[in-house]
């Protein structure tokens, strides 16, 4: 009797800790709405429009080439995820939009992103264009000026995941691993 009671008491504790099968590790938006379109210039010299990536899963993030903390980690993570995906990475496009249009032009973004993965495309434009892009995704950025006049920029560091149909499906907060991205990308690439 005592043994039965102990079994009942201890029996089901671990089950609740199991992750839900098929669920994304990223935060999921519902209902899915169309990702706000970008009206920027690409670091590849072409106009940058999300519509041109229909059929691919797009990983969209914001940052700047002089960033010494968050951006290199984010970009290295995304490059690592693409490597781990192998051939399937051809259907994944990383788009990185600058929050520092005063310093980042197309050539500078191309060089910066190319050091992580040459397939990455940067988004540049005028201050007004960048502000509009940031606003549409709820991206905040704050300039911190040093005594020598140089500055850095604190900015939102999440990665937006846009599905093959152009829907803004999910948001991966900063700090996730390449394996987490691979997990979610495999699910979304099957759809």
Partner 1 sequence: MLLIPVLAVVGWAGFAPVSVPSRDELFEIPRGTYARRMAGDKVEILPSRIRLTLGLNDVLLLRNLDEVPQVFGPTIMMPGQSFRLPFEKAASYDFACTAHASGQMTVLVEPYPAMPWSKIRWRAREWLENRTR
Q: How far is the CB of 191 from partner 1 (least distance, A)?
A: 18
Closest CB 10 distance from partner 1, rounded Å: 6
Which one, 20 or 87, has the nearer CB to partner 1? 20
30 is a site residue for partner 1 (CB under 8 A): yes
CB of 149 to partner 1, least distance (A): 27
Candidates 11-19, 52-60, 75-83, 95-103; binding stretch for partner 1 (CB under 8 A): 11-19
Give the residue, chosen from 140, 143, 165, 186, that forms a contact with partner 1 under the rule CB under 8 A. Answer: 140
Residue 98 in contact with residue 65, Cβ under 8 Å?
yes
Q: How far is CA 125 from CA 20, 45, 48, 128, 130, in A?
A: 41, 12, 10, 8, 6
Count residues near partner 1 (CB under 8 A): 30
Rule CB under 8 A: say whether 158 interacts with partner 1.
Answer: yes
Nearest to 189 by CA among 118, 86, 120: 86
Which segments of 82-174 are extended strands (E)? 92-98, 121-124, 141-145, 151-155, 159-162, 167-172
Residue 28 found at the interface with partner 1 (CB under 8 A): yes
**C-beta separation of 27 from 171 below 8 A:** yes
Binding mask 99-138 for partner 1 (x = CB under 8 A): -------------------------------------xxx
Q: Distance of alpha carbon 155 from its chain centroid, rounded?
A: 13
Contact between residue 113 and residue 120 where contact means Cβ atoms under 8 Å apart? yes
CA distance 74 to 174: 7
Q: What residues line the site for partner 1 (CB under 8 A)?
A: 6, 9-13, 16-17, 19-20, 23-25, 27-31, 33, 136-138, 140, 156, 158, 160, 171-174
């Amino acid at each position: 009797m005592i043994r039965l009671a102990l079994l009942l008491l201890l029996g089901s504790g671990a089950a609740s800790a199991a992750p839900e099968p098929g669920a994304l590790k990223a935060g999921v938006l519902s209902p899915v709405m169309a990702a706000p379109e970008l009206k920027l210039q690409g670091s590849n010299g072409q106009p940058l429009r999300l519509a041109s990536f229909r059929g691919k899963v797009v990983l969209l993030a914001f940052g700047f080439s002089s960033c010494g903390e968050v951006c290199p980690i984010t970009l290295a993570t995304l490059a690592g995820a693409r490597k781990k995906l192998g051939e399937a990475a051809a259907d994944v496009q990383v788009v990185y939009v600058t929050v520092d249009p005063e310093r980042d032009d197309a050539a500078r973004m191309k060089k910066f992103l190319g050091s992580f993965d040459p397939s990455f495309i940067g988004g540049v434009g005028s201050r007004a264009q960048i502000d509009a892009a940031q606003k549409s995704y709820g991206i905040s950025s704050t300039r911190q000026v040093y005594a020598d006049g140089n500055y850095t920029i604190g900015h939102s560091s999440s990665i937006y995941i846009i599905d093959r149909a152009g829907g803004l499906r999910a948001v991966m907060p900063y700090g996730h691993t390449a394996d987490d991205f691979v997990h979610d990308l495999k699910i979304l690439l099957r759809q």
